[in-house]
Amino acid sequence: MASQGARLIKWRALFNFKTAVVAACILLMGWFAAAFTLDNKQVFLPGETSVGHYLFETSCSSCHEGFKPVTNETCLRCHEAEMATDAHGVKKFRDPRWAEDLQKLAVLTCTTCHNEHVHMFDRGVHLQPDLCMICHAGIIQGDLQSHNGFTSDGCWTAGCHNFHDHRSISTGFLRQNLDQPPMLPVQQLPERMAVIQVDAAPTPDLTQEFLGGGS
């Protein structure tokens, strides 16, 4: 009798578990359906959007084709002019001398370093703080005496280096601040001006964006 009661409890527990799973699936499907119906695509965002791409939250198809990953061609629709003077451009890494570096970091793919919806260092777009050390660890390990004692996460976070633009290699910044102490007594963020170029965001259309343009 006791074993029969134990089996009954076991089946009830299993039934309750299955019921909970089915209910959760129904709720999830209803949630997705409501998001499509109400054009509320924000529920699909995996994380915070960067400041420069904030308007794209209402037009995912600006960067995404269905659920496919973002490609270099997509990024260059807006950033092609900036990349014209890229110090670490495609031409550099197609040189056989740098083939070994491509094994360390796939720098020819934009999303290797820039991953939207991942918030780091108030920049929104993902940039590892020690990114430069993947190829340039020797700089702070004795190859360059002027950088002795520097940390691996300071190359770009300190504002000294820019991966894509080395026209001034930061010497202009250094000359302007030669008389400054190593660390200012009061740290301040620079003032930033935002220029609004559109009056309203485009009308979102989940059908076009998430179903590859199908109706």
Angstrom distance (rounded) from CA 6 to CA 167: 77
d(CA 32, CA 105): 36
What are the sequence ranges of the domains in the chain? 2-38, 44-169
Three-state DSSP class for 20?
helix
Within 13 Å, how many C-alpha atoms sit on residue 193's CB side?
2
Residue 121 identity:
F
Prediction pTM value: 0.57
Q: What is the pLDDT of residue 102?
A: 87
Centroid of chain to Cα 167? 25
Q: Which of 25-39, 51-65, 172-186, 200-214 has the lowest mean pLDDT?
A: 200-214
Beta strands in the chain (DSSP E): none
Q: Which of 151, 124, 156 is nearest to 137 (CA)?
A: 151
User: What integer pLDDT is reported at residue 70 of this predicted model?
Assistant: 87
pLDDT confidence band for 44 (50 / 70 / 90)? low
State residue 12's pLDDT score. Answer: 63
Tens digit of each residue's pLDDT (9 = 90 or more) over 158-202: 777 888 877 666 666 677 777 877 776 777 777 777 777 777 766
Q: What is the mean pLDDT of the chain?
A: 75
Least Cα distance to 172 among 184, 187, 164, 162 occurs for 162
How far is it, in rounded angstroms, from Cα 161 to Cα 83? Answer: 16
**Span 109-113, average pLDDT:** 88
> Where is average pLDDT lowest: 5-19, 21-35, 112-126, 178-192?
5-19
What pLDDT score does 111 carry?
Answer: 87
CA gap 178, 156 in Å, rounded = 18
